[in-house]
């Protein structure tokens, strides 16, 4: 039986990004069927190839971030290298780039030039501060976006300086907005008969957009949300607690009916029936009291007993998972969140599974991140370059 096409099959995406935001956006496109051509500098390629844990000189992260992509090396400072890129873009649907604003313009590859070359091209531009405004020319990584966008200010404990999450969450959020914007622009092009357009994503704005009620609370009440440790301020109870065997559990019992089930499960029928605790505003007013009660209950029991009790009562809860916990968990396994692959030397390894799950046209990982320039000759030949011309491009340093 022939499998259905992936949802983005037939789309050609050119990736000029490096490190995280641009490449993650392109990876999502590649997983769902787009032909993604990653353009890298001949001089070492994407720095992500050397980030975090290396296996025989190449980052394990690279093999995941660049899966399903093809790599071509082009020297964009060389006129012939830029001409090759223009040929690629002439037949492309999406360009994803995360250079500092103005870099492509200096290379003669700004939006006006590319739009004239290919009026249907959608250009996704990911940068620290966007393509306009007084900060547009400043460098800005995801960490800066998290700081400016408000996430860092509220993360951590109130008596200590702000902390970061353990991943580059600002870059990844920006990547998701980039993909959403690209799909919106494609729909406009294909359904409404429009042309290509620019999708302008600033990292700080991508984070800022996730900040829930921060803006109206400040504007109406002058309220500035501060760091609050493990609790979710204004939503009670939702926090992390420690069991007697020194393990940690997240409990989210902030729904009205859930709270009542929770209290009955821990032997506090009086609190379950207390009308002042029937809704969130009343519970939040007695937050410290409730968290003290929950802390004492969890702290008297081993983690597995805590989880079993909460599961029986249908109260949302989870141990705080490490990678080892994930690898052993039946839910992760049932949802195919670990894909088997092989490193270049044949060593088997696991990669994260595909998100989201589409029922009829699911995404997949067909191959791991390629070697630097692995597909250069093939892609150049497809553009009409013969072997002699390709050899000359190499000699001149254009590829």
Q: What is the pLDDT along the chain (399 residues), one digit of tens a residue?
A: 455 689 999 999 999 989 999 999 999 999 999 999 999 999 999 999 999 999 999 999 999 999 999 999 999 999 999 999 999 999 999 999 999 999 999 999 999 999 999 999 999 999 999 999 999 999 999 999 999 999 999 999 999 999 999 999 999 999 999 999 999 999 999 999 999 999 999 999 999 999 999 999 999 999 999 999 999 989 999 999 999 999 999 999 999 999 999 999 999 999 999 999 999 999 999 999 999 999 999 999 999 999 999 999 999 999 999 999 999 999 999 999 999 999 999 999 999 999 999 999 999 999 999 999 999 999 999 999 999 999 999 999 999
The pLDDT value given to residue 6: 96
Distance CA 138, CA 207 (A): 18
Fold that domain 12-210+337-396 belongs to in CATH: Rossmann fold (3.40.50)
What is the predicted pLDDT for the residue at 178? 98
DSSP for 300-319 reads TS-HHHHHHHHHHTT--EEE
Half-sphere exposure of 389 (CA within 13 A, CB side): 11
Report residue 260 CA to chain centroid gap. Answer: 36
Q: Which pLDDT score, from 0 to 100, does residue 17 have?
A: 86
- pTM value is 0.94
Considering all CA atoms of the chain, what is the largest pairwise distance in Å, rounded to the nearest integer?
A: 85
Query: Residue ranges per domain, the chain?
Result: 12-210+337-396, 238-319
- pLDDT at residue 1 in the model: 44
**What is residue 2's predicted lDDT score, i.e. its pLDDT?**
53
Instruction: Respond yes or no: is residue 43 known to be catalytic.
Output: no
Number of C-beta neighbours around residue 176 at 10 A? 15
What b/e readout covers 211-231, taking b as 16+ CB neighbours within 10 angstroms?
Answer: eeebeeeeeeeeeebebeeeb
Say which of 46, 93, 171, 284 is annotated catalytic.
Answer: 171
CA distances from 387 to 212, 394, 398 (A): 56, 11, 15
Please give the Cα distance from 11 to 97 (Å, whole number): 17
State the Cα–Cα distance between residues 258 and 251, nearest whole angstrom. 11
For domain 238-319, give its CATH number from 3.40.50.920, 3.40.430.10, 3.30.1540.10, 3.40.250.10.
3.30.1540.10
CA distances from 65 to 176, 280, 348, 370 (A): 14, 41, 17, 10
Token output for 67: 């899966």
């Amino acid at each position: 039986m022939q499998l259905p096409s992936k949802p983005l099959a037939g789309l050609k995406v050119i990736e000029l990004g490096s490190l995280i935001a641009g490449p993650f956006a392109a990876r999502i496109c590649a997983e769902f069927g787009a032909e993604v051509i990653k353009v890298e500098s001949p001089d070492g390629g994407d720095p992500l190839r050397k980030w975090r844990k290396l296996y025989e000189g190449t980052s394990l992260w690279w093999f995941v971030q660049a899966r399903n992509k093809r790599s071509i090396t082009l020297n964009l400072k060389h006129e012939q290298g830029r001409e090759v890129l223009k040929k690629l873009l002439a037949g492309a649907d999406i360009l994803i780039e995360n250079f500092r604003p103005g870099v492509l313009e200096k290379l003669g590859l700004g939006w006006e030039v590319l739009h004239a070359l290919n009026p249907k091209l959608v250009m996704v531009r990911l940068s620290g501060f966007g393509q306009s405004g007084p900060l547009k020319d400043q460098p800005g990584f995801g960490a800066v976006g998290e700081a400016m966008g408000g996430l860092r200010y509220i993360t951590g404990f109130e008596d200590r300086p702000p902390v970061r999450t353990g991943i580059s969450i600002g870059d990844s959020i920006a990547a998701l907005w980039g993909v959403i914007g690209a799909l919106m622009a494609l729909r406009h092009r294909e359904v409404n008969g429009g042309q290509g357009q620019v999708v302008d994503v600033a990292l700080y704005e991508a984070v800022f957009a996730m900040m829930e009620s921060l803006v109206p609370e400040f504007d109406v009440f002058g309220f500035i949300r501060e760091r609050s440790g493990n609790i979710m301020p204004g939503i009670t109870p939702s926090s992390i607690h420690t069991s007697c065997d020194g393990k940690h559990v997240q409990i989210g019992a902030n729904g009205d009916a859930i709270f009542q089930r929770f209290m009955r499960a821990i032997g506090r029928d009086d609190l379950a029936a207390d009308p002042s605790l029937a809704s969130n505003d009343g519970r939040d007013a007695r937050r410290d009291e409730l968290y003290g009660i929950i802390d004492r209950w969890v702290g008297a029991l081993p983690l597995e007993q805590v989880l079993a009790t909460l599961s029986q009562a249908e109260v949302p809860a989870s141990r705080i998972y490490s990678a080892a916990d994930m690898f052993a968990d039946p839910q992760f396994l049932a949802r195919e969140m670990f894909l088997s692959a092989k490193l270049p030397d044949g060593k088997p390894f696991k990669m994260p599974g595909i998100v989201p799950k589409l029922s009829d046209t699911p995404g997949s990982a067909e191959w791991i991140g390629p070697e630097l320039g692995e597909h250069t000759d093939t892609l150049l030949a497809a553009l009409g370059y013969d072997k002699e011309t390709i050899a000359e491009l190499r000699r001149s340093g254009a590829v």
